[in-house]
């Protein structure tokens, strides 16, 4: 790899590691019993796509510490994408999301494998949960077998426990605050920080830096850059979830409304709304929730859900809530870039992390 930042070339390296590793794991799974084929396929599908941003942040944390390009480090960085794949499978299951990357989510795709089960929907959800658990286990396996020296791995291993704990904390906070009668922006931003921001940017960057032997100033700089940028990433996701093009996002545009999720976008809409608009939002969100059943993707009236989401969008636009979220994104990217400017990084690392800051927050999918 050249000293410059070549996102396509880096993504290809990570894809090769992930696809080969997942294929090997899938083969070992089906060797136990051929009927495990659908679960093995779900594992491979979970890593088939992605921007590989988490791997990129890990890689450039390593390079920021002054280390050279390393195939072993790319393997370790790729483990971050397996953490993400596990989180996505679990998140889609929790949210009952029907689509991911334009394909049926794992808990829906697996229904074909259990069509003769007395409770096929429940069985498919259980299989998806176990596939997600396996992906998280695979992440740890890929990390420790990356080829990096054990002493290097030991520097970063404690952060893995924190990564998992905070990711679970964020998911739990989202569940606990879903359906809140009065959405709150501070609470929503806390969910953003723990559910997404930390494991998307800050922790991969810190893990890479720690693997590379970073001292305290660089570690502090990684957090000062990574946390606001990770929040900007998720705030962009909130906007894309309702206002993005489903052909590009690969997701159902009514998901957040149907699930009455505690997004910062909804919280800001609520904050800006008067009593009449709040009554309107209560009615619309209640209608969206009514379309949500244990078998959402098969039985919900998707036309009604889309119509309800459209009405919520209209309220949000009129109150200029999306503009407020855009301002929050801009402020966080600027904060991240200021933190980056204060670090004395090697030129390639500074250039790459600047480019990653823009690509993470300014995107259409």
Query: Is 157's pLDDT higher than 80?
Result: yes
- For the record, the structure tokens of 19 come out as 């696809």
- pLDDT at position 298 is 47
pTM of the model: 0.93
Alpha helices in the chain (DSSP H): 7-32, 37-46, 53-64, 71-95, 106-109, 120-144, 150-177, 185-192, 203-211, 216-243, 246-249, 255-259, 264-272, 275-290, 296-299, 302-319, 321-341, 347-361
Closest CA relative to residue 59, chosen from 96, 91, 13 = 13
Reported as a pLDDT band with limits 50, 70 and 90, residue 293 is: very low
Instruction: Provide the pLDDT for residue 308.
Output: 86
- Write down the mean pLDDT value for the chain: 92
- Contact, 172 vs 186, CB < 8 A? no
Q: Give me the residues paired with residue 100 across strands.
A: 103
pLDDT of amino acid 291 = 56
Q: What is the pLDDT of residues 297-353, one digit of tens each?
A: 444 455 566 778 899 999 999 999 999 999 999 999 999 999 999 999 999 999 999
Answer whether 231's CB lies under 8 Å from 149's CB. Answer: no
Token pair belonging to 180: 């809140």
Mean pLDDT across 243-263: 85
Q: Which residues pair with 99 in a beta bridge?
A: 104
pLDDT confidence band for 289 (50 / 70 / 90): low
Dist. CA 205–CA 200, nearest whole Å: 9
Both tokens of 252, joined, read 């159902």
When pLDDT is cut at 50, 70 and 90, the band that residue 294 belongs to is very low
pLDDT digits (tens, 9 = 90+) for 84-105: 999 999 999 999 999 998 899 9
Q: Which domains does the chain have, with CATH numbers?
A: 7-361 (1.10.600.10)
Q: In this predicted model, what pLDDT tens digit does every residue of 217-226 receive, in sequence order?
A: 999 999 999 9
Strands (E), the chain: 99-100, 103-104
Split at pLDDT 50, 70, 90, the class of 362 is confident
């Amino acid at each position: 790899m050249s000293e410059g930042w070549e996102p396509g070339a880096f993504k290809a390296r990570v894809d090769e590691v992930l696809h080969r590793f997942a294929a090997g794991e899938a083969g070992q799974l089906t060797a136990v019993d051929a009927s495990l084929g659908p679960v093995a396929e779900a594992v491979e599908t979970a890593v088939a796509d992605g921007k590989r941003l988490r791997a990129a942040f890990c890689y450039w944390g390593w390079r920021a510490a002054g280390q050279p390009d390393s195939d072993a480090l790319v393997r370790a960085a790729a483990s971050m994408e397996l953490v993400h794949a596990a989180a996505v499978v679990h998140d889609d299951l929790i949210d009952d999301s029907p689509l991911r990357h334009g394909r049926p989510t794992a808990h829906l795709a697996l229904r074909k494998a259990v069509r003769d089960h007395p409770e096929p929907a429940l069985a498919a959800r259980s299989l998806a949960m176990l596939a997600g658990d396996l992906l998280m286990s695979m992440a740890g396996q890929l990390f420790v077998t990356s080829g990096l020296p054990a002493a290097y791995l030991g520097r970063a291993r404690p952060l893995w426990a924190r990564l998992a704990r905070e990711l679970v904390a964020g998911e739990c906070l989202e569940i606990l605050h879903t359906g809140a009668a009065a959405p709150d922006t501070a609470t929503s931003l806390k969910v953003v920080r723990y559910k997404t921001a930390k494991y998307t940017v800050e922790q991969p960057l810190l893990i890479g830096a720690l693997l590379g032997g970073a001292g305290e100033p660089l570690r502090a700089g990684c957090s000062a850059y990574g946390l606001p940028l990770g929040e900007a990433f998720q705030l962009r996701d909130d906007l894309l979830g309702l206002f993005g093009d489903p052909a590009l996002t690969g997701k159902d545009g009514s998901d957040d409304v149907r699930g009455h999720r505690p997004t910062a976008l909804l919280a800001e809409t609520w904050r800006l709304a008067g009593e009449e608009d709040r009554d309107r939002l209560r009615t619309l969100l209640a209608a969206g929730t009514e379309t949500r059943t244990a078998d959402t993707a098969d039985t919900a009236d998707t036309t009604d859900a889309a119509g309800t989401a459209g009405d919520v969008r209209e309220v949000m636009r009129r109150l200029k809530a999306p503009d407020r979220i855009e301002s929050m994104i801009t402020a966080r990217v600027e904060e991240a870039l200021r933190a980056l400017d204060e670090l004395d990084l090697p030129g390639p690392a500074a250039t790459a992390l600047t480019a990653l800051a823009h690509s993470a927050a300014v995107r259409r999918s």
